[in-house]
């Protein structure tokens, strides 16, 4: 049966930790694209040689179905590349394979691995690799010190099954890891892994930039922040938004999902949680023991966990670090989008909506936003650019990345008749907050909009950004317009 790389990578019919072989969703035996059955070792002959299939997050390689060990060739190139850390923010990442996290490696217990580490000639630094799956000095670090333009090779036998972190261990080790030099290697047990429908690769990391969250431009590494363990960003898969919008992972109702979760650190422990789901099974710290019915699992820096769960109802499920300010203020937010029929016996959705106004009810105020954006907009395009970051910091958690809102809770900003009918009213809502019932695009909402402590300049920028996205009417909000709207606002 022919499969695309994507379908192989998300494992339609993969194998789980202690199962006996896997069936595809079509009922046929799954095969490893990199392992033709004709190359399997005999009891007396030499090990077959296999070129490892490596993938970028959130994809994982095809499942291993062979019943014998093999000699697996792994080739991993180190590159130092400038890539997006957040909208309008770039960073020089040091990478295994051109992305953060590094390539996902999948091997089988008792395989013999021939590991090639190549350091691109354009690199400015020497690098090496410490694979936690390796039994031997430095996990391979002592054998792989590799200068720019050089290649080193070493061999190891994988003895212990589990999910392991790998990272650079060249001095200063913390700086190499903080710049993105980490990834995961899965060592499947000899008996294979239980079948699931989808598998994904998710790895958290903390980043330390000179500018605060959202400060635009190419940001340098800040050693003082790293030593103080005060990251500017905490993200999944190397950047803010790497697992949201078009980049969200997907599944269908009734499917079983497995997440290979790693934490590169270098400093923070992750409290990994999927909002609206309970992990049926967790392999804590990537080992062989299991916990069941888990809400949140700790993933240590330099560690991992495997989580499994069945999705029963459709909707958007938010992946978070439940040290929750990291999620809504530093970027550790992802999305699993599930499609399929409703199951009202499990989840009804909202059944009643009515006004509840206890005595003393009042609009809350958000804490003062300390904006990293020192620039003052001189034109509409600049307002849109500055407003994009402000939106991510202050609005996205409720109104969502594409302005779609959350049904029954937070009104949409996309094609919003409430917004487009009266921009000055919307400016007043941002400045003063709003409580009570409103109708947006034909639906009634009765939630509270907190008062955002933004400057007039910031309000002009974020409103201009919203007006010029998601099917809204466009235009520019000026500083004078904000000042007048604030004074005239009544609700």
Asked if 331 and 444 sit in the same domain, the reply is no
What 3-state class would DSSP assign to 448?
strand
The pLDDT of residue 230 is 97
Domain that holds residue 312: 47-345+353-364
pLDDT at 313: 96
pLDDT at residue 355 in the model: 63
pLDDT at 5 (0 to 100): 33
Q: Dihedral of the CA atoms 319, 320, 322, 327 (nearest 10)?
A: -150
Looking at the fold, whether 170 and 294 belong to one and the same domain comes out as yes
> How many distinct structural domains can be found in the chain?
2
The answer to whether residues 357 and 398 belong to one domain is: no
- Nearest 5°: phi and psi at 175? -70, -40
- The answer to whether 437 and 355 have CB atoms below 8 angstroms apart is yes
d(CA 486, CA 454): 12
339 plus 387 within the same structural domain:
no
Q: Which residue has the tokens 């072989």?
A: 21
* The domain boundary residue, chosen from 309, 334, 364: 364
For residues 395 and 483, state if they share a domain. yes
Residue 220: CB atoms within 10 Å: 12
Question: For position 491, what pLDDT does the model report?
Answer: 62
Q: Are residues 249 and 360 in the same domain?
A: yes
Q: What is the rounded end-to-end Cα distance, in angstroms, of the chain?
A: 62
Together in a domain, 260 and 180: yes
Annotated binding-site ranges for Cu cation: 127, 132, 167-168, 176, 181, 322
* 182-188, strands of its sheet edge to edge: 105-108, 182-188, 162-167, 130-131
Using CA atoms, how far residue 14 sits from 3, 28, 35, 70, 261, in Å, is: 13, 11, 15, 20, 17
The pair of three-digit structure tokens given for residue 401, joined into one six-digit string: 């990345």
In 3-state terms, what secondary structure has residue 105?
strand
Task: Identify whether 16 is part of a domain.
Answer: no
* Cα(261)–Cα(304) distance, integer angstroms: 6
Q: Which residues participate in the annotated binding site?
A: 127, 132, 167-168, 176, 181, 322
**Which two tokens mark 140?**
């391979």
Neighbours of 74 (CB within 10 A): 19
Kindly state whether residues 431 and 316 are assigned to the same domain: no
Give domain status of residue 31, yes or no: no
Give DSSP secondary structure letters for 108-124. Answer: ETT-EEEEEEEE-TT-S
Any domain includes 27: no
Structure-token pair, residue 327: 């999620």
- Position 242 scores a pLDDT of 96
Cis peptide before 172 (omega within 30 of 0): yes
What is the pLDDT tens value at each position of the chain, 491 positions in all? 333 333 333 333 333 344 333 323 333 333 333 333 333 444 556 899 999 999 999 999 999 999 999 999 999 999 999 999 999 999 999 999 999 999 999 999 999 999 999 999 999 999 999 999 999 999 999 999 999 999 999 999 999 999 999 999 999 999 999 999 999 999 999 999 999 999 999 999 999 999 999 999 999 999 999 999 999 999 999 999 999 989 999 999 999 999 999 999 999 999 999 999 999 999 999 999 999 999 999 999 999 999 999 999 999 999 999 999 999 899 999 999 999 999 999 999 878 766 666 665 555 555 554 444 446 888 999 999 999 988 888 888 788 889 998 877 789 999 999 999 999 999 999 988 887 788 999 988 876 787 777 899 999 999 999 999 999 999 999 999 999 998 988 76
Specify if 5 maps to a domain.
Answer: no
**pTM score, whole prediction:** 0.71
Task: Please name every residue paired with 23 in a beta bridge, in sequence order, or none if there are none.
Answer: 29
Beta pairing class for 333-339 and 249-252: parallel
CA 452 to the chain's CA centroid: 27
**So what's the pLDDT on residue 452?**
79
Two tokens at 179?
A: 């710049």
Could you tell me if 389 and 86 are in contact, meaning their C-beta atoms sit under 8 angstroms apart?
yes
State whether 339 and 245 are in the same domain: yes
> Which domain-ending residue is among 298, 330, 364?
364
The Cβ of residue 361 has, within 10 Å, a number of other Cβ atoms equal to 10
- Check which CATH number belongs to the domain holding 399 and give it: 1.10.760.10
**Cα atoms in the 13 Å half-sphere on the side-chain side of 329:** 15
What is the predicted pLDDT for the residue at 357? Answer: 62
């Amino acid at each position: 049966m022919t499969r695309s790389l994507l379908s192989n990578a998300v494992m339609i019919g993969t194998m789980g930790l202690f199962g006996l072989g896997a069936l595809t969703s079509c009922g046929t035996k799954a095969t490893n694209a990199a392992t033709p059955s004709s190359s399997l070792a005999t009891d007396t002959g030499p090990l077959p040689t296999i070129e490892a299939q490596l993938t970028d997050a959130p994809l994982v390689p095809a499942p291993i179905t062979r019943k014998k060990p093999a000699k697996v060739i792994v080739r991993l190139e180190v590159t130092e590349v400038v890539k997006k850390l957040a909208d309008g923010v770039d960073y020089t990442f040091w990478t295994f394979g051109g992305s953060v996290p590094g390539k996902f490696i999948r091997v089988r217990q008792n395989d013999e691995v021939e590991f090639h580490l190549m350091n691109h000639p354009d690199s400015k630094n020497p690098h090496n690799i410490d694979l936690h799956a390796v039994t031997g000095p430095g996990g391979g670090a002592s054998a792989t010190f590799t200068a720019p333009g050089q290649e080193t090779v070493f061999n190891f036998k994988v003895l212990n099954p589990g999910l392991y972190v790998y990272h650079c261990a060249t001095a200063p080790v913390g700086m190499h890891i903080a710049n993105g030099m980490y990834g995961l290697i899965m060592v499947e047990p000899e008996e294979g892994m239980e079948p699931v429908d989808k598998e994904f690769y998710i790895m958290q990391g903390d980043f330390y930039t000179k500018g605060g969250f959202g400060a635009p431009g190419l940001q340098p590494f800040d050693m003082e922040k790293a030593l103080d363990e005060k990251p500017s960003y905490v993200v999944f898969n190397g950047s803010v938004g790497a697992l949201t919008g078009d980049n969200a992972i997907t599944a269908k109702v009734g499917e079983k999902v497995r997440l290979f979760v790693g934490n590169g650190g270098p400093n923070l422990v992750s409290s990994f949680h999927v909002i609206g789901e309970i992990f049926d099974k967790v392999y804590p710290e990537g080992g062989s023991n299991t916990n069941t019915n888990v809400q949140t699992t700790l993933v240590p820096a330099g560690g991992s966990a495997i989580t499994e769960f069945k999705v029963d109802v459709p909707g958007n499920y938010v992946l978070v670090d439940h040290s929750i300010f990291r999620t809504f203020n530093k970027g550790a937010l992802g999305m699993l989008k599930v499609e399929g029929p409703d199951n009202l016996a499990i989840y009804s959705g909202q059944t009643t909506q009515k006004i509840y106004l206890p005595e003393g009810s009042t609009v809350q105020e958000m804490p003062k936003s300390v904006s990293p954006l020192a620039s003052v907009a001189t034109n509409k395009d600049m307002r849109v650019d500055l407003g994009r970051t402000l939106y991510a910091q202050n609005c996205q958690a409720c109104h969502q990345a594409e302005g779609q809102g959350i049904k029954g809770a937070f009104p949409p900003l996309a094609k919003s008749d409430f917004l487009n009918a009266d921009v000055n009213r919307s400016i007043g809502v941002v400045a003063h907050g709003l409580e009570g019932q409103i109708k947006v695009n034909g639906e009634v909402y009765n939630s509270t909009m907190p008062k955002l402590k933004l400057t007039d300049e910031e309000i002009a920028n974020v409103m201009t950004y919203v007006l010029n996205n998601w099917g809204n009417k466009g235009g520019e909000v000026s500083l004078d317009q904000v000042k007048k709207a604030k004074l005239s606002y009544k609700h």
